[in-house]
Structure 1
Amino acid sequence: MGLPFAETPDILAFVLQISVTLFASANMMCTSAINTALGIVNTSVLLFVFVSGLVFGDPQSLINRDGGGFFPYGGEGVAKASFGVLFALSEFEMISMSAEVIIWQNF
């Protein structure tokens, strides 16, 4: 075996490594800026819907046990549905992580 380092520095490899690093960094900054802009748009839409609901909404339609309403089963129904969604999401996460581990073991 030879020495771990070359006798002369490899300028081409150094320039290539620096250019790839700068390119990846620029793309990460661009992706970060796009994610920030989309997050602002998403928050703006949520605020618009919330304020519109406060201004134009009818409080009687929230809990209307006769005609349905937005919360036909009250707080208990919302809690039950939330627990069900949380359970389904955690199961989906476990299945997807298992599938990812299986895929990467084959490579």
Structure 2
Amino acid sequence: MANDFPISLSTQLREHLRALRKQQRMTQAQLGERVGVSQARIAEIEANPGAVSVEQMMLLLSTLGASLRLHVHTSDQPAHAAAEPGAPAYIPARKQGSW
């Protein structure tokens, strides 16, 4: 059974990443080992998922049995505009770096 979790802001991923990891009965260290990073890096990603590249996020999601799906809205209003009052209209770019 598929479950969809609409996400408009990267900060909303925090709870979902942690929940997916726990659902798979994995510790941060075990997940890190599977994707080739340290436990500390997994903790950083769970705390600030907006600081990871799309490629890295897709690897994590795949490892956790989830995937990334784009949804095109049919209205003229972007999804993030209705998400939360005062929410930023964009996610600022972050410095690129290694895992």
Normalised by the size of structure 2, how large is the TM-score?
0.18
Bigger-Rg structure (1/2): 1
Normalised by the size of structure 1, how large is the TM-score?
0.16
Higher share of residues assigned helix? 1
Could you say which structure has the greater relative contact order, defined with CA pairs below 8 angstroms and 6 or more residues apart? 2
